[in-house]
Amino acid sequence: MTESGVGGPLVAAIAQALLVALAAPLLVGLVRTVKARLVGRRGPDPRQPYADLVKLLRKDPVVSTTTSWVFRFTPFVLVACMLVASTVVPVLVTRPALSFAGGIVLLMYLFMLGTFFLALAGLDSGSAFGGMGSSREVAVAALAEPTVMLAVFALALRTGTTNLGGVAERLGGEPAMAAHPGHLLAFLAFFIVMLAETGRLPVDNPATHLELTMIHEAMILEYSGPYLALIEWANAMKLFLFMTLLINLFVPWWIPAEAAGAGLFLGLLALAGKLVVLASALAVLETAMAKLRLFRVPELLAGSFALALLSVASVVLLK
Amino acid sequence: MSALAYALTALGGLGAAGLGLAGWLGHAWSVELLWLVPLAGLALRMDPLAGFFLFLVGATSVPASIYAIGYMRGARRGLGAYAVFLLGMAVVPLAANVPTFLIAWELMALASYALVLHDREDAAAVRAAWIYAVMTHAGLACLLAGMLLMFAWTGSLVFADWRAASATLDAPARNVVFVLLALGFASKAGMIPLHVWLPAAHPAAPSHVSALMSGVMIKLGVMGLLRAGMEWLGVGPPWWGVALLLAGALSALAGVLYAAVEGDLKRLLAFSSIDNVGIILIAAGAGMVFHAAGLETLAVFALAAGLYHTVNHAAFKALLFLGAGAVARGAGTRDLEAMGGLIKRMPWTAAAFLVGALAIAALPPLNGFVSEWLTFQALLQNGLIPRPELNLVFVLALAGLALTGGLAVACFVRAFGIAFLALPRSEGATNAHEAGPAMRAGMGLLVIACVGLALLPTVLLPRLGAAAARLLGDPAPALRHDLLTIAVSGDFATLSMPVVAGALTLGLALLPLLLRLARAPRAVRWSETWGCGRLLQTARMEYTAIAFASPLRRIFDFLYRAEKRLEVEAHPESRFFVRRMAYRNAPRALAEEWLYAPLLIALRAGADRVRAIQSGSANLYLIYVLAALLVLLVLA
């Protein structure tokens, strides 16, 4: 935000947040459809999540008398976090509106803010399920968030900026930079953690309601109606943001620098194409893999943390 | 009567804060009273760094004193010690020579010892005070040794003379002094493994004193480290900074890990102080390494980040301790397992504690996030040091700091969630009462401080840089800023807290409107928590504090090495009917077991040996005196 005043960036920020907010459910639906096709079912239409959200929005919420205002406040915080996060991540253009607001550290701590409140809400209902989900979620997040930060730091140290847009810009401009062991290690670490952070297999199963295995779903068991809609929506946005970040940091090509003209259209097309490929890959992975035992999950996360640490170390040492 | 006294200490704190602020902004002065203190006289000197720490002491003591009016409920005990404690802490940053410093330092230590011993009936408090006394005097011995060596080698008791004189000292001599001073100051700061007194002593004191001990007193140890490592001894070798950096990372990680499984709310906060001092030491160590490498602007930046975390931690840790004190008074317990549901009975305290928890977990848009962000950026600048082994140290510190951030979230979700949410787990929690107006006012002031510190980094950071720059001789910090945004090293990183806070607020304000537009129902149906068909929900069905920490216990078992013990008393007729069950799963204190226990054994064995020369015969003692005299004469 240097010279052009506040109006332009504000419009750009709102436009990008709207794009993420509106496109995110489609991405979730797409993964579900591809997964269904892979196992030989016809599966729902990819647009099903929209219908689900609308249905939930119209229902009366039932709230436990045990809960406090924290429980009702949490869905709003969660969505607000994701909306702000969606103006920090380079989605359509390399320099999103709030690119300057704090970079990767801000992004990760925004996700953490959402996790913090969601975990509190899980405890607030006083049921054992909620507490169990919260306890597992914060343990997973405590290992996963630092890993993402370290993986992105590896890229930041090579590109000379921790602003996510700046990283994408540099890497997009010089594709040869991607040929570095630190880059590959960071990609692996990021990918594993993306699965954990967005509650996908093999860490958590978004389709299960079995108390022994669930993490995220246990935490939000008490939510209903519009509150549940907000949470599901925020979750979809988180998946969208993580996948976009992965794409735009590690395959940062054809991202326009400015939101104008044919470049924007091309960029939109490129983003959609890359997301479809990644979503299909996620679906294949989720179909092919079984869920890990809960107590094996930390090993996976510790492994990815080690990968991220190695990637930073290799960037620092192999200059 | 006691209310009046605490109001007076609050006023005194306000005055000290004003004086400190003036000094911090550049109003330098010095006072010397040669007749007052033996050897070199009383000497006080104000510079920006001293001003900063004096401001910290004063500004934190205001809410703590106001809180004490309600918390102590007219009890007079501990009042004198409290005043002396504040006075000692206020003089320490100003002390300009060794005698003044040591007297103020010892006043602070003795007064806080008396305050830790507030509850003399409590065996745990007595033991805590004992450990505290031993550790603080071991630290004092180290400081005394280091300072007297400096006196012997430089011929001056005045700190200001040391910088120039230390340039003439050879490397081993400076190393010895640094190690001695660093041990003394680090034990006060609560650095691992010199932290053993801290989790015992801080919870034992009354809560407003705990707030000051954790918020301010341990920071004076950090101040000593900064002064010793960069001002008194000039530019040191890189390993001084590296040692601080690694010790800081270790303290941060171990501190937060112990805090995450602790069951006593105040002990949890004390462990988390070790974590935060670790973060400050990471920044300070990074500053020292940059300084040693000749990168002065980066050194100033890292030090400013450390000072930022120092003042932030003073605000949110004091807030959390005051909140814990309100809970201890209101619900009559410090045990997390006996709390629950307090948000309904104590809404104000709960809201204040929530703000503190968010701030200490470094979540935006509160102040902890700002200083952690700055520390991350300082560490990321290490590429400018052309030495791979140093770079690797920075990478390790980065990893440690990142992991600490994640674990702090887990720790404070547990602290707030178990204590304040869901159903009360004990009689005391069921009948808890809200804190009185004075206590709420104290907490309210600190909430405002947390928010203000979060929104004003562009105002604060240059001032902190100026204070830090005095340590190294005034280079300009490596950051630009306009009113909204801070930029580090050109375009390397930018932060704009007002924009982040504004965006979050905007999002929160727009969402209810959006729901209205979507014609979502506004009425809420109230019902019971779903429980698989059972008839009644009780607190026994909630997740407990120990269960909540269980995943972390499993993951970090190599650190905790918990002794798990399960005692089940079954009915004599059938083992399926359990009469009583006891479960213990306390983490072992490794520092005590591996370091201090062998040390104590060696000390006892040594003392036994020495006993041989203690025969009780006066003649023999005269011979000792004569021999000592001869040896000294020969040596001289």
> Which pair of structure tokens corresponds to residue A88?
């920090």
Taking the CA of residue A173 and the nearest CA in chain B, the distance in Å comes to 17
Mutation site, A50, A55, A65, A66, interface B, largest B CB count within 10 A: A66
Q: Which of A12, A17, A76 is nearest to A241 (CA)?
A: A17
Q: What are phi and psi of A95, to 5 degrees?
A: -110, 90
Query: Which pLDDT tens digit goes with each residue over B97-108?
Result: 999 999 999 999
As given in the structure block, the two tokens for residue B186 are: 């680090």
Q: Who among A113, A120, A146 is closest to B421 (CB)?
A: A120
Instruction: Report the gap between the CA of B419 and the closest CA in chain A (Å).
Output: 10
The string of pLDDT tens digits covering residues A197-251 is 887 877 777 776 666 667 888 888 889 889 999 999 999 999 999 999 998 888 8
CA distance B552 to B369: 23
Going by C-beta distance under 8 Å and a sequence separation of 6 or more, which residues neighbour residue B386?
none
Residues of chain B with Cβ-Cβ distance to A100 below 8 Å are 485, 494, 496, 499
Of A70, A157, A161, the CB nearest to B383: A157
Average pLDDT over residues B403-414: 95
Nearest-by-CA chain B residue for A129: B543
Determine, for residues A309 and B395 on separate chains, whether the beta-carbon distance falls below 8 Å.
Answer: yes
Residue B477 predicted with pLDDT over 60: no
Residue pLDDT, tens place only, B69-128 = 999 887 788 889 999 999 999 999 999 999 999 999 999 999 999 999 988 888 888 999
Report pLDDT for B356. Answer: 96
* Joined tokens for residue B90: 């206020």
Give the closest-approach CA distance of B534 to chain A in angstroms. Answer: 12
Cα separation, B424 vs B429, in Å, equals: 5
Measure the CA–CA gap between A42 and A157, rounded to whole angstroms: 46
Distance, CA of B247 to CA of B467 (rounded, Å)? 24
Q: How many percent of chain A have pLDDT more than 90?
A: 35
Phi-psi region of B407 (alpha: psi -120 to 50; beta: other; left: phi over 0): alpha
Chain A residue closest in CA terms to B503: A84
pLDDT category of residue A6 using cuts at 50, 70 and 90: low
B406 → closest Cβ in A102, A146, A225: A146
Which chain A residues are within 8 Å of B520, Cβ to Cβ? 57-58, 225-226, 229
* H or E element at residue B568: strand B563-570
Q: Which of A26-40, B33-47, B441-455 has the lowest mean pLDDT?
A: B33-47
Instruction: Map tokens 């600190």 to a residue.
Output: B446
Measured between beta carbons, the chain B residues lying within 8 angstroms of A119 are 413, 417
Is the Cα torsion angle A103, A311, B560, A122 positive or negative in sign? positive
Q: Which of A84, A150, A156 sits opposite B399 (nearest CB)?
A: A150
B34, B35, B37, B43 alpha-carbon torsion, rounded to 10°: -20
Q: How far is A92 from chain B (nearest CA, A)?
A: 19
B493 min Cα distance to partner chain A (Å): 5
Looking at B190-333, list the stretches that DSSP marks H as alpha helix, in order from N- to C-terminal side.
198-204, 207-212, 218-226, 238-261, 265-292, 296-331
- Look at A9 and B306; give whichever has higher pLDDT: B306
H or E element, residue B607: helix B597-610
Which stretches of A43-127 are DSSP H helices? Answer: 48-58, 69-85, 103-124
CA atoms in the 13 A half-sphere facing the CB of A288: 6
Mean of the per-residue pLDDT values of chain B:
89
Band of residue A2 on the pLDDT scale cut at 50, 70, 90: very low
d(CA A99, CA A95): 6
CA distances from B355 to A114, B358, B363, B434, B506 (A): 15, 5, 10, 17, 19
Q: Which residue on chain B is closest to A151 by alpha carbon?
A: B399
Cβ A153–B398 below 8 Å, yes or no?
A: yes
Most confident of A142-151, A152-161, A294-303: A142-151
Q: Which residue of chain B has the CA closest to A153?
A: B380
Q: Which amino acid is at B226?
A: L
Higher pLDDT pick, B571 / B476: B571
Tens digit of each residue's pLDDT (9 = 90 or more) over B143-162: 999 999 999 998 888 998 88
Hey, are the CB atoms on B399 and A144 less than 8 Å from each other?
A: no
Report, as an integer, the average pLDDT of B208-218: 94
Write down the pLDDT at residue A164: 83
CB contact under 8 A, A146 and B484: no
Nearest chain B CA: its distance from A288 CA (Å): 27
Nearest-CA distance A140 → chain B (Å): 9
B125-B129-B131 Cα angle (round to 5): 115
Residues of B with CB below 8 A from A98's CB? 499-500, 503
Sign of the four-CA dihedral B72, B75, B78, B79: positive
Name every chain A residue with its beta carbon within 8 A of the beta carbon of B492: 160-162
Verify whether the Cβ–Cβ distance A109 to B414 is below 8 Å.
no
Partner-chain residue, chosen from B382, B395, B409, that has the shortest CB–CB distance to A138: B409
- Per-residue pLDDT at A4: 45
pLDDT digits (tens, 9 = 90+) for A277-295: 999 999 998 888 888 887 7
Nearest by CB to B422, which of A81, A105, A125?
Answer: A125
CB atoms B494 and A163 under 8 Å: yes
pLDDT (tens digit, 9 = 90+) per residue, B464-473?
888 888 888 7
Q: How many CA atoms lie within 13 A of A2 on its CB side?
A: 7
pLDDT at B352: 96
Decide if B421 and A115 are in contact by the 8 Å CB cutoff: no
CA-nearest residue to B345 within chain A is A68
CB pairs under 8 A between A and B: 273
User: Cα distance from A42 to chain B (closest Cα, Å)?
Assistant: 31
Which residue of B343, B406, B539 is in closest CB contact with A70?
B343
For the CA atoms of B240, B241, B244, B246, what is the dihedral angle to 10 degrees? -110
Test B521 with A61 for CB contact under 8 angstroms. Answer: yes
Which residue on chain B is closest to A88 by alpha carbon?
A: B500
Separation CA A122–CA A129 (nearest Å): 8
Flag if A84 and B523 touch (Cβ within 8 Å).
Answer: no
Please report, rounded to a whole number, the percentage of residues in chain B having pLDDT higher than 90.
54
Q: What is the mean pLDDT of residues B198-219?
A: 92
Task: Evaluate if residue A149 carries a pLDDT over 60.
Answer: yes
Across residues B483-488, what is the average pLDDT?
Answer: 69
The single-letter DSSP state of residue B290 is H
pLDDT at B362: 93
Query: Considering the entire predicted model, what is its pTM?
Result: 0.93
Residue among B395, B412, B422 whose CB faces A123 most closely: B422
Give the length of chain A: 319
- How far apart are alpha carbons B322 and B271 in whole angstroms? 16
Q: What percent of chain B has pLDDT over 70?
A: 97
Q: Closest residue of B to A145, CA-based? A: B406
The SS3 call for residue A231 is helix
Average pLDDT, integer, range B172-201:
92
Cα gap A248→A252, rounded to integer Å? 4
ipTM of this predicted structure: 0.93
Backbone angles phi, psi at B264, to 5 degrees: -95, 120
Q: Which of B395, B422, B519 sits opposite A126 (nearest CB)?
A: B422
> Strand B493-495 to strand B486-488: parallel, antiparallel, or no bridges (unpaired)?
antiparallel
Cα distance between residue B260 and residue B526, in whole Å: 33
A107/chain B closest Cα distance in angstroms? 10
Q: What are the counts of helices (DSSP H) followed by strands (DSSP E) for chain A?
A: 11, 1
End-to-end CA distance of chain B: 58
Chain A CB contacts of B491 below 8 Å: 160-161, 163, 166
Q: Which residues of B touch A115 (CB under 8 A)?
A: 409
Buried b (16+ CB within 10 A) or exposed e, B261-287: bbbbbbbbbbbbbbbbbbbbbbbbbbb
Residues A85 and A62: their CA atoms lie apart, in Å, by 29
Question: By CA distance, what is B425's nearest residue in A?
Answer: A126
Indicate the residue of A57, A65, A230 with minimum beta-carbon distance to B526.
A65
Distance from CA of A65 to the nearest CA of B (A): 6
Q: pLDDT for A50-68, tens place per residue?
A: 999 999 998 989 998 889 9
Chain A environment of B484 (Cβ under 8 Å): 1
- CB contact at 8 A, A168 and A255: yes
Mean pLDDT, residues B554-566 taken together:
83
Least confident of A86-95, A144-153, B186-195, B245-254: A86-95
Tokens of B553: 């216990």
Q: What is the pLDDT of residue A1?
A: 37
Mean pLDDT of B198-214: 92
Pairing of strands B525-527, A62-64: parallel
Contact B421 A77 (CB under 8 A): no
- A69 contact residues in B (CB cutoff 8 A): 343
pLDDT band at residue A5 under the 50/70/90 scheme: low
Burial class for B483, CB neighbours closer than 10 Å (0-12, 13-18, 19+) = exposed
Question: Could you tell me the pLDDT band of residue B570, with boundaries at 50, 70 and 90?
Answer: confident
B372 contacts A105? CB cut-off 8 A = yes
- Tell me how many degrees the CA angle A237-A213-A301 measures, rounded to the nearest 5: 65
Is A139–B555 a contact, with Cβ atoms under 8 angstroms apart? yes
Measured between CA atoms, the residue of chain B closest to residue A319 is B383
pLDDT band at A170 (very low <50, low <70, confident <90, very high): confident
Q: What average pLDDT does range B562-586 have in this prediction?
A: 82
Contacts of B622 (CB under 8 A, 6+ apart): none
Interchain contact, A146 vs B500, CB within 8 Å? no
Closest in A63, A139, A317 to B388, CB measured: A317
Per-residue tokens: B77: 């005990």
Query: By 3-state DSSP, what share of chain A in percent is helix, strand and coil, each rounded to 5?
Result: 70, 0, 25
